[in-house]
Amino acid sequence: MIRIFNVLFFLLITGICFSQTNQPAPKIPVDPDSKLIQYRDIINQDGTKDVLYDRGAEWIRSYYINPGSVTKVQDRVNGKIEGTGRLRLYFYDSNNTRTDAGMVYYDFHLEFKENKYRYTLTNFSLKGASRIPLEKWMNKDDPSYNPQMENYLYQVDTTMQNLVVRLKEGMKPRVIKKDEW
């Protein structure tokens, strides 16, 4: 029994195994007013609105493979960038074989003011014949609920948490090292 536990623990910490039974249901943030999944925060960051806008635009170019296709609004005057991002979900079977499980679309909004910016990630939906809001996956009483949905939510949450970390890093001023020899 201990040997099985050690093997499972090794697989879990090394990221080799992502089956639906290994991932706990994440605490997905939901906006209390709209009832939609929403990642949002206001970050204090030194810089003018224009400087922060430029950093945000640069971050989008570095984060998204095709930034021109995801960006819908680039409004420097009002300090906002908006667009639609996407992420691929995967199903992992009992042999840990990865299969494409669909594409999730989400809206992103970056807003810039003097010494602060706000990000909002919301309107998550699975692309299909029609778009399915991901909030449906959080309802275990829904007749179409499947335990695999928790794994999909985990993938979405992990990707969004990573996006936020990378955004915060990208919004920091660049450190220029002097070559003093």
Q: Residue 83's domain is classified under what CATH number? A: 3.30.530.80
- What is the extent of the structural domain holding 152? 2-170
Is 104 a domain residue? yes
Is 142 a domain residue? yes
**Whether pLDDT at 11 is above 80:** no
* Beta carbons within 8 Å of 151's beta carbon, 6+ residues apart: 18, 19, 20, 23, 91, 92
Is 83 a domain residue? yes
Is 178 a domain residue? no
Is 175 a domain residue? no
pLDDT of residue 140: 87
pLDDT of residue 2: 37
CA 60, CA 71: separation in Å to the nearest integer?
A: 8
Using an 8 Å Cβ cutoff, are 38 and 121 in contact? yes
Is 77 a domain residue? yes
Over range 37-48, report the average pLDDT. 96
Per-chain mean pLDDT for the chain: 86
Residue 26: which pLDDT band, with cuts at 50, 70 and 90? confident
**What string of H, E and C letters represents the secondary structure of 43-97?**
EECCCCHHHHHHHHHHHHHHHCCCHHHHEEEEECCCCEEEEEEEEEEEEECCCCC
Residue 179: which pLDDT band, with cuts at 50, 70 and 90? confident
Is 147 a domain residue? yes
Nearest Cα residue to 153 out of 133, 170, 167: 133
- Among 20-24, 139-143, 152-156, which stretch is predicted with the lowest mean pLDDT? 20-24
pLDDT of residue 15: 40
Domain count, the chain: 1
Is 180 a domain residue? no
Q: Cα–Cα distances in Å, from 142 out to 23, 28, 52, 89?
A: 21, 18, 43, 21
